[in-house]
Amino acid sequence: MSKTNIVKANPQTAILKASPESEVGGKLTEMALDDLKFSLAGSRAPAVIEKTFQKLWKTRNNRFSHEHAYEAVRDGKTLGMIICYPTTLMNKLAMPTFSQLFDLHKWKLIGYYLRHWKELYTMVTLKEGEDDEYHIGILATLPESRGLGVGTELIRHAEKQAVLQGLTKSSLTVRQENTGAIKLYERLGYKKVGEINKPAVSLYRMSKVLV
């Protein structure tokens, strides 16, 4: 790992460019997506869901790839992960992501969508960010990381990446009932700029001016 890929978060924790071989990358993605993981995997079977997100994590050119992720590592263990990118790139990854999901599940995926059309409608019509923003698509930490500031350090790292790429705003979405996460984001300077109310999910859109 080159020095350019390592950012010290505090004396014990480092933010590293994610590895495709990470043991928890796919699991953390699954945790962050909550019920949306069913729609993406086209199944509610735990084994199918786990296989889906491990595959997406290891593969490049999709929304949930290690390619766009950073891990918070302490004492050799990954405690949290963030996936972030310019919103324009995130939107371009939508079709490649679906293509990889179809290759993985074939017509079972289509069958699931026919049975759960509201979930499909939610995914297709979900607008998470504006084109001039750097979007935090996934943020997840393991329970044992609570109180260590891991989520805060991952968000700050994403914001630095945004500035390096010439963007002056960062954004994210959060479930309206997730009051703990909302308080964290507000403490870090994020403001509610809109609501997303779909048949399968209700979210706040939050944004922050970086410079």
List CB contacts of 29: < 8 A, sequence separation 6 or more.
53, 56, 57, 64, 81, 83, 138, 140
Separation CA 190–CA 185 (nearest Å) = 5
In the chain, what is the greatest distance between 2 CA atoms, to the nearest angstrom?
A: 51
Side chain identity, residue 178? N
- 182 within 8 A of 144, measured Cβ to Cβ: no
Q: What pTM was computed for the model?
A: 0.92
Separation CA 198–CA 190 (nearest Å) = 22
Confidence band (pLDDT; 50, 70, 90) for 149? very high
Confidence band (pLDDT; 50, 70, 90) for 70? very high
Per-residue pLDDT tens digits for 83-117: 999 999 999 999 999 999 999 999 999 999 999 99
The residue ranking higher by pLDDT, 102 or 12, is 102
How many CA within 13 A on the CB side of residue 104?
20
The first and second tokens of residue 189, run together, are 């300077």
- 137 within 8 A of 84, measured Cβ to Cβ: yes
Name beta bridge partners: 208: 170
